[in-house]
Structure 1
Amino acid sequence: MSSLMPHLDRVSRTFWRATGRRVDLAGEHAWLDAPVHDGAVIGDAWLTSAATRWGGEARDDVEDAGLLPDLGVLDGPGFRADALHPHVRDFYEHTSRWRMEVWTQWAAAFQPGGELVSRLFGRRVQQLALPTRPLDVAYGMDSRVAVITDDTGAQRAAGWIRSLRSTGEYVYSGCYMSRELPGADRASVHVTFPLEAGNVQVFLRPTALPDGSLRLDSPQGDFGQDGAYVVVTGPQRNHAARAPIHERFHVYVDRWGVLRTDHELRMWSATAVRLHYKLTRIT
């Protein structure tokens, strides 16, 4: 079985090339230029190469590191960082201060497929390994933030590495920054999950709700708008396609003052999995 895995990876990349379009990551489509990896196992191995391409370094020693150093970079029509509850803003600007617990619930029609993808792909490459059984996350999830700097020493992006506390297996390994899409009136949260010779990218549009909570959406739309993309790189040609994956995050403080997140992932218009996070500030 193990000898078939590299073949399956190549088939997957061929599929996305065939269904996508050619893109110029150094020109017209520079908004899709993001970290990739040169090996089959991802984990956190992409951090150093990502820092090198930006002329900086990946640092695990930054106290109170956050996914975004200042949520004000997202300000624009429909969003003001100052309107968020202080705990919501603190989580994104000082993510390493927070510990998380997570619960998952898959829709019955999608759970077998999620388990298959996790077994054949996610756990093997240590990336995008969504938990498919409630007991997988019974002991919680560990979270580590590495600041990726540019040649001036300023934060260019952040690597958010999440793993199962019970086994140490990687669940997500993402690169977080802000980026403005073509024709957009404000920046989106840009998350990249590096893969071998490519990546999965999600552009999330932020909205500040009247109760101080934050909503992040990757809706349906046209190429170049917020949503999910699969990028496949090559020595001569690069390809990208919109993926039929849509997400919504609602980050809020409940009536007891606890910071929580509801995360819904849909395939086309059908809900595939829901996740709930309880976030506790480390004192």
Structure 2
Amino acid sequence: MRRRPVGQILDAGTRAWVRLTGRRVDLDRNGWLGGPTGDLARVDDAWLADEVARRSGRFRDDDGDTGLLPSMALLDGPGFDAAKLRPEVRDFYEHTARWRLQVWTQWSPVAWPLGWLVSVVFARRLQQLSLPLRPLQAAHGMSSEVRSVVDADGTVLGTSWHRRLRSTGETVFSGWYGVDALPGADRPSIRVVFPLPNGRLVVLLRPEVAADGALLLTSTQGRWGDEGAYLVVQPPGRSRGWARRTPVHERFRVFVDDEGVLRTDHRIDLWRLPVLRLHYRLDRTDA
């Protein structure tokens, strides 16, 4: 009998944990937990072609002007008005492909061993969610490939964002971006799907506009159905699966500094434990 690779055994163990500790969900009725899934051996961006075919879509030809969202106004609702954002912030989300990213990372000393373990066991092998462990790994910046998928009428179905380390070409992450409203929510959230073997990590972020026109995106501690990070297991060809809310919480602040430079502070916590801080400098390539 052929033995399964150790990595795939660990992946199967993670999926079993989600089934045992999560809840059974009908993904046809809970579309906010749906989305693309990754291959068992390697995720990278191989999932994208399958997602285009599944949705009967096509890539939009937009001359390198793709944004993560077609318009930030899609998020408008009680407590959020895209018109109040700084123009630079809005331009980044609506024309992401025109922006170059530089990134600095700092892990909490307490959380670094956990980050190393996740990177060695899962992230590097799968080429997904492989966050830099040391600042110099990201010293040359990240490449950014943004591609929108549209239906026959030209409506955007979703947008993929694939980022690699310029120094090594290794994938940092590939995600599927869009807007969705949680059940019972008063306004939409940004939804990001990170495909995983036979499942996905779904992250929902609540948008707010700060007094200075900065964009705040948060997923705080809450209950099932609130903004946050959800691990989803979906067997191939099935419309039902399992989902579990995770204790991972994030906060983004996308702002313009005193010198007119667009920047982002990104914080990741596990429960209340600080795990990782990232800082981005964003420069428009045609400025």
**Aligned residue type for 1:104:** T
Residue aligning to 2:274: 271
Task: Give the aligned partner of residue 238 of structure 1.
Answer: 241
Match of 1:255? 258
Q: Quick check: 2:37–2:197 contact (8 Å CA) kept in 1?
A: yes
% identical aligned pairs: 51
The residue aligned with 1:108 is 109
Within-5 A mapping of 1:1-283: 3-27=5-29, 29-59=30-60, 62-234=63-235, 237-283=240-286
Provide the C-alpha distance between the structure 2 equivalents of 1:2 and 1:105, rounded to a whole number of angstroms: 35
When structure 1 is superposed on structure 2, of 231-240 and 115-124 the one drifting more is: 231-240
Residue-by-residue CA offset, 1:21-61 (whole Å, 9 max, x unaligned):
0000012x222111112442111111111111221023575
Q: Distance in 2 between matches of 1:2 and 1:253?
A: 50
One-letter amino acid of the counterpart of residue 205, structure 2 = L
Local SS of the residue matching 1:15: helix
Residue 211 (structure 1) shift: 0.2
1:129: Cα distance to partner?
A: 0.4
8 Å CA contact 1:47–1:58 kept in 2: the answer is: no
How far apart, CA to CA, are the structure 2 residues paired with 1:223 and 1:52? 31
1:206-227 CA distance string (max 9 Å, x none): 0011101000001111111111
Distance 1:126 1:189 in 2: 23
Aligned equivalents of 2:274, 2:63: Cα separation in 1: 37
Closer, same or farther in 2 for the Cα pair 1:257/1:144, shift >3 Å? same
SS of residue paired to 2:5: helix
**Number of corresponding residues:** 282
Q: Encode CA deviations 1:87-125: one digit per residue, 9 max, x unaligned.
A: 000000000000000000000000011011111111110
1:17 is displaced (CA, Å) by: 1.1
For residues 150 and 272 of structure 1, the distance between their equivalents in structure 2, rounded to whole angstroms, comes to 39
CA contact (8 A) 1:20 1:239 kept: yes
TM-score under structure 2 length normalisation? 0.95
Cα distance in 1 between the residues matched to 2:231 and 2:37: 11
Give the residue type in structure 1 aligned to 2:160: G
Amino acid at match of 2:50: S
Mapped partners of 1:209, 1:201: distance in 2: 25
Is the CA contact (8 Å cut-off) linking 1:200 and 1:228 kept in structure 2?
yes
Shift of 1:242: 0.1
AA of the residue aligned to 1:192: V
8 Å contact kept, 2:200–2:233: yes
Q: Distance in 2 between matches of 1:89 and 1:19?
A: 39
Mapped partners of 2:175, 2:72: distance in 1: 18
How far apart are 1:168 and its partner, in Å?
0.3
Three-state SS of the structure 2 residue aligned to 1:135 is helix
Contact 1:62–1:147 at 8 Å: present in 2 too? Answer: no
The alpha carbon displacement at 1:152 in A equals: 2.3
Does structure 1 retain, via aligned residues, the 8 Å contact 2:233–2:241? yes
TM-score, normalisation: structure 1: 0.96
Partners of 2:37 and 2:61 in 1: CA distance: 20
Q: Does the Cα contact within 8 Å between 2:8 and 2:40 map onto a contact in 1? A: no
Query: After superposition, what is the alpha-carbon deviation per residue over 1:122-144, rounded to whole angstroms, capped at 9, x for unaligned?
Result: 11101000111111101111111
Once the two structures are overlaid, the 10-residue window that deviates more, 163-172 or 147-156, is 147-156
